[in-house]
Structure 1
Amino acid sequence: MDCVSAYYSLHINCGGGEVKDNDNRTIYEKDNDFGGASYFGQSGKNQGFSSTGHYWDLGEINLYVKKSTSSISGKNPQLYMDAREFPNSLSYYGFCLGNGNYTISLRRIFDVYIQGLRVLKDFNIEDEAGGANIGIVKNFSVAVTDTTLDIRFYWAARGIVLPDYGVYGPLISAISVNPGKL
């Protein structure tokens, strides 16, 4: 990708429309293209995602987006009302980022790789948050050296024969990338 100018932040409302944080300082770009079982899409100014996998137990077309009807506790609950999920692998890309150190904030995830390095293994959202419908944020520091950030969520399916829809696979509500280290 040819970069006309460098970006130094990236904020994505995964699976949802454009929203602002509670302080009205950060705008999270929409990410509501539904995609499919094998998909690559680019939306917003400098971000894209790719996905693989199909839910085994659905006889209908799945939109791979979850909408919450519950109230979510925590800071910025609007970021948890939508989520993107996939049964196998989901990757987000930040394009044309200026080289340097960044802090990555992820909301609702499973196994996670950033720039090819596994940073979380067998992550359990509900256990980490202390219950259901509780917002949780995980932060990581990363260096971008080639203007591209790669965040991949992966479900390894260890020990599962045929799970029920919605209880397996990566789930992500929002991604925030800001310059600097933790």
Structure 2
Amino acid sequence: MTKYPQKTIGELCNIIKGETGISSATPGEYPLVVTAKERKTSATYQFDTQAVCIPLVSSSGHGKKSLNYVHYQEGKFALATILAAVIPKKHDEIYAAFLNSNYGIRNAISYTTGVGSSQGNLNVNRVRPYVIPLPPLAEQKAIVEKVDYLIKIIDQLEAQIKHRKQLAEELMPTVLTETFE
């Protein structure tokens, strides 16, 4: 049992499907949120708000259940047709970036995509009734700050590991040559 009140995502948020075709979008000044890690651009925008953008189909290809790259986006942005924006109804009740945490949308997606066919498709009607804890707004922001901080540390560590692997690969021929001489 959580110490916080609980509400459904449907009570807290509107879920709106994207309207921009990825291949038909004219590149421009606005971010175009897609299912890939990196965003594209668009000459037009659909939203001017804070939202968590969730994929409706697998970004890993047919036959894969993964729905990777849930994106937090704010300001003016376009959204591809194969995504939906989860937008707080009351910004003084829930912080959109908090929805991007494991307490919110990410957990709901992993819960709702575990059933059905081998293709990772998300039915937003199954996300709406998902219940999440609702800490006070200040605590939601503190959680997001902590998670962002930890993600930066993870990114730094991954970069160090990649660099050290590269160094090891470069040194391996020298070590082998010296060993056999």
- In the superposition, the TM-score normalised over structure 2's length comes to 0.27
Higher helix share: 2
The structure whose Rg is larger is 2
- In the superposition, the TM-score normalised over structure 1's length comes to 0.27
Higher strand share: 1
